[in-house]
Amino acid sequence: MASPNTQKFYIDGEWVDPVSSATLDVINPATEASIATIALGDEKDVDRAVTAARKAFDSFAATTREERIALLERVIEVYQTRLGDLAETVSSEMGAPVGLASAAQAPAGLGHFLNTLEALKNFEFEETIGSTTVVYEPVGVCAFITPWNWPLNQIAAKVAPALASGCTMVLKPSEIAPLNALVFAEIMHEAGVPAGVFNLVNGDGPTVGAALSTHPEVDMVSFTGSTRAGIEVAKNAAPTVKRVAQELGGKSANIILDDDGFSDAVARDVAAMVVNSGQSCNAGSRILVPAARMNEAAEIAEKTAEQIVVGSPEDSGTHVGPVVSEAQFNKIQRLIQTGIDEGAAVAAGGVGRPDGVDVGYFVKPTVFADVTNDMTIAREEIFGPVMVLIAYEDEEDAVRIANDTNYGLSGYVSSADPEKARKVARRLRTGNVHINGAPIAFDSPFGGYKQSGNGREFGKFGLDEFLEAKAIFGDNA
């Protein structure tokens, strides 16, 4: 069930009319048709929401751990009743196949609340160091700017620890896929989140995002999105010296070592790369294979890619839906053509829509072979179902190529010898590494090195981000 509040914002515990009169159509990427029209906010809408959050902060910051545990438990209870609505909404606005939306997209937000609840139960908000008491206190009013690719995952990864720590907040979800956030706000309201603690204003980055980043009453900005946009957020936040946490882009290396697990790993990871149409910041889009096995890897990748079904998000079964927008489709097509122009070999896929598809932002699952790490398609984040095969000479060369990037969000290592994979994993300059296809764990830190951002999310590590450490000297003298 879609939200009835597309023309309103959630501020100070109520659905209110915007100050601005601007609107934007939300497009179903599978049909290219408008499915809703949302209101777009401006600086005055942001100020109203930030003022509400500031007013609510002192009382919410003073709540006990037990009160915040009870609040998270209520949110979890209500969230569970809206899982179907959330999945349906995400599928229609950003193109995730209904199976993926139901099994992963919608439940991801629930997973963060469950893990944050456990972290809150066990978190030490005070510790003694000699004669000093160190007290961990909420950072204050937080602004959240979240993306469209895993929208509920990123919303909940910020909102859950902020609530747990005693912060108040204003959320600006992506205007490309904003409808799920409206349902999320309804969940917050029904769960009894106190007025002003959680607020939502829809809008674009240059207007609402910038107004939040520059607002003097905002103490912290947590941003997930492209590195380019993250730099702008940091610049806007700098004059007020607010805390900035960033989870940005990636161009993650996937090192497949030369042993008996090679063939299975190539097939598994080509299939994994196209999940969510390749629109994941931590996707293992650079697949590193031994130079002597490049042709073998290309053949496996081609066979695997040709078996991948591209279809409507409404279809059941495992398949790949469209990418999120016309702009994203055009960017991906440009980069695929650039790969061809720079001499990479197309092992599967290529430019254009899949055969027989005339409508929707559908991209052919594409594999490039014989790619060198200086090519554009090996340097830029494509954010689509496109991967590159890069040759390495030996293990040392593989690590060098993997680390030769401006990014450092994720990494992957596969080997029939787990100990060998562990040794390589420890040499990668990334915020997380997956060994032999291991999945993400919501109780472990997520975030990047270098231009992939700073700070960490998930579990107790996410809770840390929203706390200030106060030293009270002599308190235990």
pLDDT in tens, 81-115: 999 999 999 999 999 999 999 999 999 999 999 99
Instruction: Provide the 3-class DSSP secondary structure of residue 135.
Output: strand
Q: d(Cα 172, Cα 41) in Å, to the nearest integer?
A: 10
Taking CA 82 as the corner, what is the angle to CA 105 and CA 101, rounded to the nearest 5 degrees? Answer: 20
pLDDT for residue 477:
86
Of 88, 247, 381, 465, the catalytic one is 247
Which residues, at least 6 apart from 405, have a Cβ–Cβ distance to it below 8 Å? 251, 253, 286, 379, 450
pLDDT of residue 319: 87
- The Cβ-side half-sphere exposure at 134, using a 13 Å CA radius, reads 8
Q: Match 């764990």 to its residue by tokens.
A: 441
For residue 104, give the 3-state DSSP assignment.
helix
151-165 vs 179-190: helix crossing angle, rounded to 10? 30
User: If we measure between CA atoms, which residue out of 255, 228, 265 comes closest to residue 410?
Assistant: 255
CB atoms within 10 A of CB 459: 23
* pLDDT for 237: 98
Amino acid 3: pLDDT = 82
Given a cut of 80, is residue 318 above it in pLDDT?
no
In Å, how far are 46, 162, 194, 453 from 168, measured between CA atoms? 14, 7, 10, 23
Distance separating alpha carbons of residues 383 and 315, to the nearest angstrom: 23
Q: Are 95 and 29 in contact (CB under 8 A)?
A: yes
In angstroms, rounded to a whole number, what is the distance separating the alpha carbons of residues 79 and 191? 9
pLDDT tens for 341-398 read 999 999 999 999 999 999 999 999 999 999 999 999 999 999 999 999 999 999 999 9
Closest CA to 257 of 378, 421, 389, 419: 421
Q: In the structure encoding, which two tokens stand for residue 387, read together? A: 């991967």
Which of 200, 209, 217, 181 is CA-nearest to residue 54?
Answer: 217
Nearest to 261 by CA among 427, 421, 425, 393: 421
Listed residue (380, 388, 371, 376) closest to 305, CA to CA? 388
Contact status, residue 91 vs residue 29, Cβ threshold 8 Å: no
Q: What are the tens digits of pLDDT across the range 49-88? A: 999 999 999 999 999 999 999 999 999 999 999 999 999 9
Cα distance between residue 93 and residue 100, in whole Å: 14
Q: Which residues face 320 on adjacent strands? A: 310
Assign 292 a pLDDT band (cuts: 50, 70, 90): very high
For residues 297 and 389, is the Cβ–Cβ distance under 8 A? Answer: yes
Question: What mean pLDDT value characterizes the chain?
Answer: 97
Residue 2 scores a pLDDT above 90 = no
For 217, the token pair is 């009453």
Rounded to the nearest angstrom, the gap between the alpha carbon of residue 246 and the centroid of all alpha carbons in its chain is 11
137 an active-site residue?
no
Query: How far is Cα 173 from Cα 158, in angstroms, rounded to an integer?
Result: 12
**pLDDT for the residue 1:** 55
- Please name which of 156, 145, 36, 143 lies closest in space to residue 94, comparing C-alpha atoms: 36
pLDDT band at residue 196 under the 50/70/90 scheme: very high
Residue of 93, 175, 186, 281 marked active site: 281
Tell me, what's the pLDDT at 20?
Answer: 87
Quick check: pTM over 0.95?
A: yes
**Catalytic residue flag (residue 247):** yes
- Of 11, 59, 43, whose CA–CA distance to 185 is shortest? 11
